[in-house]
């Protein structure tokens, strides 16, 4: 019997199992994951779970593994890989495979010297979120390190719970990794309105029990510290396996999400792939990428050549707003504003255009229609008229 083994029971791993069955794979499918929980969705962790709203209690993915004939092995971690022997080593012994899918996701970057400190946490897993929720319920003071997506969403929930909140960011703007300063600047106001203190341009130099120290010597008291300074592919366990990794730690996959070892694929947050659309290798840490990649992997395993090169898409819910981002802009692309937060517009977007008018990226704040229309235009990559793009009363459309 042909055997597909999937390592990492997160979004990408779970959907790879489901897509394999959907596309007609009849062999054995084994899905193993280090976490004790059946596969669940992460976006709600920093939203509904922390806020205690919506489907907070039920983040499990809606996939019936038993009905699909998938052997789900929670609480089992891969420890190494021997591609020549087609063996995956795990903490409960080796597993042979014909097809192997690496879907181990990413792990949060931590602050040096904070390991083992009980009041310092990251937010990646359901257990992390439940722990943090208890802290918020106790209405203590919270310091979030990093004004990225996780920091902003955590600050939102912590303020809603009535906590005193300080967000410390080393860069001089919120969302430094994601947005140019000009478009992140209006978000400062969101923190202020929510009653959260945002301190940009401050590096954290030490975290001790109950306090955070900044480079300028300021000390901020904290019952809890949430570190949200980014994540890296969880690929340390592949060291020595011969599987090619990129400098950012991601598994180097090709456009069909194959690695350089026969029968081995990589998908989701742990993998980078060459994008013809953007002319460079992309490492995408977004839900949508982990959801769509599995169809390409399943097709590959079944012998069909499919290419994974979607328009990257991401959303965030922060301070009562829905922020959405699609595409990738490059140096030299022209940002065109649709609506101006400085002039008091609550909803606005920014569309980046190449010199020939081809849209490359779109940021929207409470503009779901712009996002929907713009995403299609990004997909089609047809030139737009900048003057029409700049008029928020005209729907985004090709001319």
Q: Is 11 in the site for ligand FAD (CB under 6 A)?
A: yes
Please select the residue that binds ligand FAD; options are 17, 18, 29, 34, rule is CB under 6 A: 34
Please select the residue that binds ligand FAD; options are 237, 273, 348, 352, rule is CB under 6 A: 237
Q: Is 103 in the site for ligand FAD (CB under 6 A)?
A: yes
Q: Is 31 in the site for ligand FAD (CB under 6 A)?
A: no
State phi, psi for 188 to the nearest 5 degrees.
Answer: -50, -45
Q: Is 12 in the site for ligand FAD (CB under 6 A)?
A: yes
Strand order from edge to edge, sheet including 271-275: 251-252, 271-275, 280-283
State phi, psi for 371 to the nearest 5 degrees.
Answer: -65, -45
Please select the residue that binds ligand FAD; options are 8, 140, 327, 374, rule is CB under 6 A: 8
Strand order from edge to edge, sheet including 224-227: 120-121, 224-227, 141-145, 164-169, 197-200
Please select the residue that binds ligand FAD; options are 20, 30, 42, 174, rule is CB under 6 A: 42
Task: With CA atoms as reference, report the closest residue to 378 among 341, 353, 356.
Answer: 353
Q: Is 13 in the site for ligand FAD (CB under 6 A)?
A: yes
Kindly determine how many residues on this chain lie close enough to bind ligand FAD according to the rule CB under 6 A.
Answer: 36
Name the minimum Å distance from CB 122 to ligand FAD. 9
Q: Which among 131-139, 183-191, 285-293, 388-396 is the span making contact with ligand FAD, rule CB under 6 A? A: 285-293
Task: Give the separation between CA 20 and CA 297, rounded to whole angstroms.
Answer: 8
Name the minimum Å distance from CB 176 to ligand FAD. 18
State phi, psi for 266 to the nearest 5 degrees.
Answer: -145, 140
- Interior angle at CA 202, CA 198 and CA 206, nearest 5: 110
What DSSP string runs through 251-271?
EE--TTSB-SSTTEEE-GGGE
State phi, psi for 24 to the nearest 5 degrees.
Answer: 100, 15
Please select the residue that binds ligand FAD; options are 29, 31, 234, 371, rule is CB under 6 A: 234
Q: Which residues bind ligand FAD (CB under 6 A)?
A: 7-13, 32-35, 42-43, 45-46, 77-78, 103-106, 123-124, 150, 234, 237, 268-269, 285-288, 290, 314-316
């Amino acid at each position: 019997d042909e055997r597909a083994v999937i390592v990492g029971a997160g979004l990408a791993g779970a959907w790879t199992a489901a897509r394999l069955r959907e596309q007609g794979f009849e062999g054995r499918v084994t899905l193993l994951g280090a976490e004790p929980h059946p596969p669940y969705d992460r976006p709600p962790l920093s939203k509904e779970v922390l806020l205690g709203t919506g489907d907070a209690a039920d983040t499990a993915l809606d996939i019936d593994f038993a009905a699909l004939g998938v052997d789900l092995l929670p609480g089992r971690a891969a420890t190494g890989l021997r591609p020549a022997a087609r063996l995956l080593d795990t903490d409960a012994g080796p597993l042979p495979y014909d097809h192997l899918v690496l879907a181990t996701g990413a792990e949060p970057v931590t602050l040096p010297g904070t390991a083992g400190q009980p009041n310092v946490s990251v937010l990646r897993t359901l257990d992390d979120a439940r722990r943090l929720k208890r802290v918020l319920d106790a209405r203590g003071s919270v310091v979030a390190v990093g004004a990225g997506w996780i920091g902003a969403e955590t600050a939102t929930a912590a303020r809603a719970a009535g906590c005193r909140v300080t967000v410390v960011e080393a860069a001089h703007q919120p969302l430094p990794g994601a947005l140019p300063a000009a478009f992140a600047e209006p978000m400062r106001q969101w923190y202020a309105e929510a009653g959260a203190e945002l301190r940009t341009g401050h590096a954290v130099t030490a975290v001790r029990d109950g306090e955070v120290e900044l480079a300028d010597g300021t000390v901020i008291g904290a019952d809890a510290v949430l570190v949200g300074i980014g994540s890296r592919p969880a690929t340390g366990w592949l060291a020595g396996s011969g599987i090619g990794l990129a400098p950012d730690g991601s598994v180097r996959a090709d456009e069909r999400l194959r690695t350089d070892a026969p029968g081995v694929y990589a998908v989701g947050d742990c993998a980078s792939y060459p994008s013809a659309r953007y002319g460079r290798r992309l490492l995408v840490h977004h839900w949508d990428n982990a959801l769509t990649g599995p169809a390409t992997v399943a097709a590959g395993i079944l012998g069909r050549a499919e290419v994974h090169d979607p328009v990257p898409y991401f959303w965030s819910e922060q301070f009562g707003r829905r922020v959405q981002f699609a595409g990738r802009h490059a140096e030299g692309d022209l940002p065109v504003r649709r609506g101006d937060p400085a002039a008091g517009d609550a909803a606005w977007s920014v569309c980046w255009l190449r010199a020939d008018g081809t849209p490359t990226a779109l940021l929207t704040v409470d503009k779901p229609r712009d996002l929907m229309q713009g995403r299609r235009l990004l997909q089609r990559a047809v030139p737009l008229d900048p003057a029409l793009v700049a008029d928020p009363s005209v729907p985004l459309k090709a001319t």
